Amino acid sequence: MQPYVSDVTPAGVDAQSPHPEPTRSKKSRSRRTTACDACRARRTRCDNRKPACGYCRARGIDCHYEQSLQGHAPRVEAELAAINQRLDQITNLVQARPSTSPEQGPLAKQIRAGDMFTGEEKSPFQLLGSDCIMDILGLGPGFAHNLLKLERATPLSGSNHAPRMRIMQQEHAIMALASFSTYVHCWYPILRPGFSERYFGIISGVLAPSPESCLVLLVAAIGTLAQQDPILGVSPSDGSSEQYFDLAMASLPTVLVDGGIESVQSLILLAVYYCSLERPCQAYDYVMIASFKVQNLLRCTKERDNELFEHIKRAYWAVLLLESELRVQFDVVESGIWNHDDDIPLPDSRRTWQFDVATGSPATTITTPGSDFSAMNRHADTTQAYFLAEISMRRMLHRCNTAIRRAIDGEIVYAPNIAKELELQLEEWYGYLPPSVQFKSQDLESAISSHDDITSIEPLSTFLRVQYFCCKISIYWPAVYQSIQDGAASPELLRHCERFFHAYIQVMPTMLQSMRNCIVNRWTLYSTVFMTSMAVMLAMETPCIREGCTIDWPNLWVCLRSAEAVDDCIVRSSPSLLLLHEVLVNRLRKLQH
């Protein structure tokens, strides 16, 4: 689907010559008129086969040749053109890998062959993180880079003066810890059993610079930040989260040189803190440092059946999830953390720290399969189920989420069979979800329509539902992109475009709701709202899609307009989100008129 323009230059003619032969130029133009209408419109090479060329036949498009008004080219030029065309075909065959053609090998092999595509080749099919897709959406190739510069240029939070000691009252300490447990730790359960006692002991002590002091102060800072959040509606907090954050940063030099698990956990929470402030660039910086540290810890840890290794495992998977969530938004380097995902066992989050919010007292019991299911244990099981489901989702997306293949002529095209296989794998993932996090669309839509308090909607299962439908959008976006590029679509391609629209209609209410109750992923959620909505509007403006698809257009419009109703405090907390919101609203208004 990448445009391929290569004019045929006959042998003996210098393409750079300032004085080409007029007759040769005229006959060259005559030769180009023999291309079919579709190839001529796309300015790509046509193989001139009758009754349909290879390009039109592969896509089910009517192939029509305009009758040439010129005479036949001389025999020598015709033979040279045929030789050049044959050389192009041989080059494409050498560059293409035969295993990716639909006629060879099982579908699983075709999907694994997705690694053969470079980032540049795949970029038109990816909805986020590339200059190519920004250009396709009419935003300009430098739009993503400008967002990055805007984020980097924004001053960081925190005071400019040196941190000062602060005594935290026991009641406020409990509230901050409870808020952290409820609104943050469920997403990244990395703390060890017994953390509550360490928390209260350290925060009421001298607070000497150390990784443990940094960890405790970051918990207090993030918990207080969640309490201050106007959307979550938590009870007011004592003071500002920045004061605890400044005290935590005093320990950062010690954290950077330390090689223990507490230093990795502190770096993870630094990233989570900036995620909660909607500062993705700063968050990614700390995730990268945490990634290198946890990889070194894994290499140095010989015993793999003790409690320490369990905490290292959880830190590893938390870093992997954070890096995957942030990296897809920007074109940044990877840390190499995916090189170990096949070797690291899955974590057991039931062996992590839990806090009994109902009684306001710390709880450090490690649950076992035979334990009674108290409220605390049910919360632990839900957190464990979500963490494992999120890991499996990320691993599935990392393997392949783009339904494309390289055709026999070397061109990258949409692969409907791979799309069906990817959706089948997605349905299998959903089927294995435990009941505690298995989302049901009717339950969520009922809760939203009845204006229930957001705490009545399970945030973990809601976020999994977002990823489920976003995955479908990614699977079927290449069908939409190919239809946009070709200006025509076969019935099968149109059916897959309809699935793209249907996934967007399903995911939009969920994304807007998840933004409210998921403080750690708000920036990435809104950027996904922006990109998917822009892609939907581009598809709606394409005549062959608009006229050929049968979908609920009024409902689609309702979903698009709902993007304007995002809480003002969310978009105004980030300069890049504010820019994205303004661009999206302006595009919506233009489309309505």
| Mean pLDDT on 306-318 | 92
| Mean pLDDT on 495-524 | 94
Residue 510 has pLDDT above 80, yes or no: yes
Token match 């079919």: residue? Answer: 36
In a domain, residue 307? The reply is yes
**Residue 3 pLDDT grade (very low, low, confident, very high; cuts 50, 70, 90):** very low
**Residue 235 pLDDT grade (very low, low, confident, very high; cuts 50, 70, 90):** low
Residue 23 has pLDDT above 80, yes or no: no
User: Residue 523: what pLDDT?
Assistant: 94
In a domain, residue 157? The reply is no
Measure the CA–CA gap between 498 and 428, rounded to whole angstroms.
22
Token match 């959620």: residue? Answer: 525
Q: What's 36's DSSP letter?
A: B
Lowest mean pLDDT among 59-68, 224-233, 421-430, 476-485: 59-68
User: Residue 94: what pLDDT?
Assistant: 41
User: Residue 353: what pLDDT?
Assistant: 87
DSSP assignments along 122-166, one per residue: HGGG-SSS-HHHHHHTTS-TTHHHHHHHHHHHSPPSS-SSPP---
Total residues belonging to the chain: 593
User: Residue 124: what pLDDT?
Assistant: 76
Estimate to the nearest angstrom the gap between the alpha carbon of 523 and the chain centroid. Answer: 12
User: Residue 359: what pLDDT?
Assistant: 41
**Residue 85 pLDDT grade (very low, low, confident, very high; cuts 50, 70, 90):** low
Q: What's 185's DSSP letter?
A: I
376 vs 246, more confident = 246
Q: Give CA angle at 355 (166, 309), nearest 5°.
A: 95
**Residue 250 pLDDT grade (very low, low, confident, very high; cuts 50, 70, 90):** very high
Kindly state the tokens that stand for 466. 């977002």
| Mean pLDDT on 490-509 | 95
Same domain membership, residue 366 and residue 490 = no
Same domain membership, residue 507 and residue 368 = no
**Residue 59 pLDDT grade (very low, low, confident, very high; cuts 50, 70, 90):** confident
The pLDDT tens digits of the residues spanning 530-570 come to 999 999 999 999 999 999 999 899 999 999 999 888 988 89
Measure the CA–CA gap between 323 and 325, rounded to whole angstroms.
5
| Mean pLDDT on 140-158 | 75
- What are the φ/ψ torsions at residue 8 (nearest 5 degrees)? -85, 120
Residue 5 has pLDDT above 50, yes or no: no
Residue 348 has pLDDT above 60, yes or no: yes
DSSP assignments along 72-122, one per residue: PPPHHHHHHHHHHHHHHHHHHHHHS-GGGSTTSS-HHHHHHGGGGS-HHHH
Lowest mean pLDDT among 173-187, 237-251, 543-557: 237-251
Residue 581 has pLDDT above 60, yes or no: yes
Lowest mean pLDDT among 272-286, 309-323, 432-446, 502-516: 432-446
Query: Residue 432 — left, alpha, or beta (φ > 0 → left; ψ -120 to 50 → alpha)?
Result: alpha
Lowest mean pLDDT among 108-122, 219-233, 451-465: 108-122
In a domain, residue 546? The reply is yes
| Mean pLDDT on 251-262 | 94
In a domain, residue 112? The reply is no
User: Residue 173: what pLDDT?
Assistant: 85
Residue 69 has pLDDT above 60, yes or no: no
Q: Given 379, 406, 421, which residue is the final one in a domain?
A: 379
Measure the CA–CA gap between 196 and 114, rounded to whole angstroms.
46
Same domain membership, residue 79 and residue 138 = no
| Mean pLDDT on 369-393 | 70
In a domain, residue 51? The reply is yes
User: Residue 153: what pLDDT?
Assistant: 79
User: Residue 306: what pLDDT?
Assistant: 82
Same domain membership, residue 336 and residue 243 = yes
Residue 261 has pLDDT above 90, yes or no: yes
373 vs 395, more confident = 395
Residue 435 has pLDDT above 90, yes or no: no
Measured torsion, CA atoms of residues 486, 491, 497, 503, in degrees rounded to the nearest 10: -170
Q: List b or e across 306-340, with b for residues whose CB sees 16 or more CB atoms inside 10 angstroms.
A: eeebbbbbbbbbbbbbbbbbbbbbbebeebebeee
Q: Are 7 and 45 in contact (CB under 8 A)?
A: no
User: Residue 397: what pLDDT?
Assistant: 85
Measure the CA–CA gap between 498 and 155, rounded to whole angstroms.
43
Domain containing 489: what range? Answer: 126-152+433-592
Overall number of domains in the chain: 3
Q: Highest-confidence range of 30-39, 67-76, 140-149, 262-271, by mean pLDDT?
A: 262-271
Measure the CA–CA gap between 511 and 513, rounded to whole angstroms.
5
Q: What's 65's DSSP letter?
A: B
35 vs 298, more confident = 298
User: Residue 241: what pLDDT?
Assistant: 86
552 vs 592, more confident = 552
User: Residue 18: what pLDDT?
Assistant: 42
Nearest alpha carbon to residue 244 among 172, 181, 189: 172
Same domain membership, residue 560 and residue 484 = yes
Residue 82 has pLDDT above 60, yes or no: no
- What are the φ/ψ torsions at residue 360 (nearest 5 degrees)? 75, 20
Lowest mean pLDDT among 100-104, 394-398, 503-507: 100-104
Q: Highest-confidence range of 221-225, 305-309, 353-357, 443-447, by mean pLDDT?
A: 221-225
In a domain, residue 464? The reply is yes
Q: Are 472 and 426 in contact (CB under 8 A)?
A: yes
Lowest mean pLDDT among 3-7, 348-352, 459-463: 3-7
Nearest alpha carbon to residue 185 among 42, 353, 326: 353
Same domain membership, residue 264 and residue 329 = yes
User: Residue 37: what pLDDT?
Assistant: 81
Measure the CA–CA gap between 103 and 117, rounded to whole angstroms.
19
Q: Are 37 and 66 in contact (CB under 8 A)?
A: yes
Q: Are 570 and 231 in contact (CB under 8 A)?
A: yes
Q: Are 202 and 216 in contact (CB under 8 A)?
A: yes
Q: Given 351, 379, 407, which residue is the final one in a domain?
A: 379
Q: Given 339, 357, 379, which residue is the final one in a domain?
A: 379
Same domain membership, residue 581 and residue 449 = yes
In a domain, residue 229? The reply is yes
| Mean pLDDT on 250-255 | 95
User: Residue 13: what pLDDT?
Assistant: 37
Same domain membership, residue 227 and residue 81 = no
Lowest mean pLDDT among 110-119, 309-318, 419-428: 110-119
Q: At what angle do helices 459-486 and 522-540 cross, to 10 degrees?
A: 30
Provide the sign of the torsion angle of the four alpha carbons 303, 304, 309, 313, taken in this order: positive
E strand map for 403-476: 404-406, 412-414
Measure the CA–CA gap between 274 and 242, rounded to whole angstroms.
12
Q: Are 437 and 460 in contact (CB under 8 A)?
A: yes
User: Residue 384: what pLDDT?
Assistant: 86
User: Residue 168: what pLDDT?
Assistant: 64
Same domain membership, residue 206 and residue 131 = no
Residue 406 pairs with which residues in a beta bridge? 412
Same domain membership, residue 547 and residue 447 = yes
Residue 322 has pLDDT above 90, yes or no: yes
User: Residue 514: what pLDDT?
Assistant: 93
Residue 431 has pLDDT above 60, yes or no: yes
Measure the CA–CA gap between 125 and 136, rounded to whole angstroms.
10
User: Residue 373: what pLDDT?
Assistant: 36
Mean model confidence pLDDT for the chain = 78
Same domain membership, residue 375 and residue 227 = yes
Same domain membership, residue 375 and residue 243 = yes
**Residue 295 pLDDT grade (very low, low, confident, very high; cuts 50, 70, 90):** very high
- What are the φ/ψ torsions at residue 373 (nearest 5 degrees)? -90, 85
In a domain, residue 219? The reply is yes
**Residue 392 pLDDT grade (very low, low, confident, very high; cuts 50, 70, 90):** very high
